[in-house]
Amino acid sequence: MAKIAARVKVPAQAKKGEIVEIKTTVAHKMESGRRKDKQGKVIPRKIINKFVCTLNGKKVFWSDWHPAISANPYLSFYIRAKESGTFEFSWYDDDGSVYKTTAKMAVT
């Protein structure tokens, strides 16, 4: 598991049935494969192509990304609070590495 600066904002507590917003961002250049270096050579594509969010091991939200997603990709989405547990967030890089982070939420 590669080290990378990923940040997520998940409310620590939520009422059962409440819809909570989750904000995520990860530090990544998202090299589109269309830029050229000083010698005019194309810089090869290297982006995060997939994002997955699970709650207690169950997939609750996921996303496919293309080179049009900006550098340091930001994404916010919603989840209905049903049960307490741990969210796991995974970002999949073109080069095969997976960046992960977790967050806990208590549902009352």
Partner 1 sequence: MPNAVDRRQVLLGAGGIGLAAITAALLPAQTLADTAAANETISKLIDGATPKTGKVTLKLPQIAENGNTVQFSVKVDSPMSDTDYVKAVHVVAEGNPAPEVASYFFTSDSGKAEITARMRLGKTQTIRAVAVMNNGAVYEAREEVKVTIGGCGG
Binding status of residue 26 toward partner 1 by CB under 8 A: no
Phi, psi of 75, deg, nearest 5? -150, 130
Binding status of residue 54 toward partner 1 by CB under 8 A: no
Nearest to partner 1 of 46, 82 (CB atom): 82
Binding status of residue 92 toward partner 1 by CB under 8 A: no
Structure tokens at 45: 């594509």
Nearest to partner 1 of 3, 10 (CB atom): 10
The CA–CA distances, whole Å, from 103 to 4, 39, 65, 78 equal 16, 44, 22, 15
**Straight-line distance from the first to the last Cα atom of the chain, in angstroms, rounded to the nearest whole number:** 33
**Smallest distance from partner 1 to CB 101, Å:** 18
Q: Under rule CB under 8 A, how many of the chain's residues touch partner 1?
A: 30
- Whats the size of the chain, residue-wise? 108
Q: Which positions touch partner 1 (CB under 8 A)?
A: 19-20, 32, 34-36, 55, 58-71, 73-80, 82
